[in-house]
């Protein structure tokens, strides 16, 4: 059975970027999550051994969301993928289909006013860039303008309060937090 429970943090210290999953049984409430951070020096995303609360914006719920948001250099695969993007019409026009209330497709467009690549939620994303690095490569903006979270240092955060305990499980490579029922 799923739960929306998550570790109790000090007031104002919950990190909204973290996606918790969990369950309750007769003895405990248990939550778990995996986070990734962007390492600017190596242009890669690495797993973050998050402590449960606080931290900063350089905390992504998946490896793909971290790479799509922050990675700036193209990979060998990306170079092979560029012709596919061009075939589907990805370009630097900045045009995109506005989302409807159900849309959750994230893409990147070139904003000619701010001269940077910008993250948008779209209704249909085939003509937009799936990651910021494609937009940077194709449109060559004057202002790099990557997401400010990508420039923040890695921050493991702090532990929770109110009886919650967290630990990194090496077997599952996942942070688990639990609170015994009283």
Q: Is 9 helix (H, G, I), strand (E, B) or coil?
A: coil
Band of residue 4 on the pLDDT scale cut at 50, 70, 90: low
The kind and range of the H/E element at 134 are: helix 132-139
34 pLDDT higher than 90: yes
Q: Is 64 helix (H, G, I), strand (E, B) or coil?
A: helix
133 pLDDT higher than 60: yes
Asked if residue 143 lies in contact with residue 116, where contact means CB atoms within 8 angstroms, the answer is: yes
User: Scanning the structure block, which residue is given the tokens 């890695």?
Assistant: 154
Find residue 176's DSSP bridge partners. Answer: 32, 167
- Encode pLDDT of 37-88 as tens digits: 999 999 999 999 999 999 999 999 999 999 999 999 999 999 999 999 888 8
**How many helices and strands in the chain, by DSSP H and E?**
3, 8
Band of residue 145 on the pLDDT scale cut at 50, 70, 90: low
- Encode pLDDT of 158-171 as tens digits: 999 988 999 999 89
24 pLDDT higher than 80: yes
Chain centre to alpha carbon of residue 149: 10
**Alpha-carbon separation of residue 107 from 83, 133, 171 (angstroms):** 17, 11, 34
CATH code of the region 73-145: 4.10.410.10
- Encode pLDDT of 83-128 as tens digits: 998 888 888 988 877 777 777 788 999 988 888 899 988 887 678 8
Q: Is 171 left (phi over 0), alpha (psi -120 to 50) or beta?
A: alpha
Domain ranges in the chain? 1-71+152-182, 73-145
Chain centre to alpha carbon of residue 19: 10
The residue-averaged pLDDT of 9-16 equals 92
User: Scanning the structure block, which residue is given the tokens 């075939």?
Assistant: 87
């Amino acid at each position: 059975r799923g739960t929306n429970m998550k570790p109790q943090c000090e007031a104002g210290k919950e990190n909204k970027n973290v996606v918790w999953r969990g369950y309750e049984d007769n003895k405990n409430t248990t939550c778990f999550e995996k986070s990734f951070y962007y390492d600017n020096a190596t242009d890669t995303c690495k797993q973050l051994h998050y402590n449960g609360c606080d931290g900063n914006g350089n905390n992504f719920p998946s490896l793909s969301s971290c790479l799509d948001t922050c990675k700036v250099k193209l990979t060998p695969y990306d170079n092979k993928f560029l012709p596919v993007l061009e075939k589907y019409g990805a370009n630097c026009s900045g045009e995109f289909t506005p989302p409807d209330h159900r849309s959750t497709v994230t893409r990147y467009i070139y904003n000619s006013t701010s001269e940077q690549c910008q993250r948008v939620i779209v209704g249909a994303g085939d003509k937009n860039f799936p990651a910021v690095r494609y937009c940077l490569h194709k449109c060559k903006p004057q202002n790099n303008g990557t997401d400010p979270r990508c420039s923040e240092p890695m921050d493991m955060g702090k532990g929770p309060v109110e009886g919650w305990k967290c630990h990194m499980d090496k077997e599952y490579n996942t942070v688990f937090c639990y609170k015994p029922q009283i």
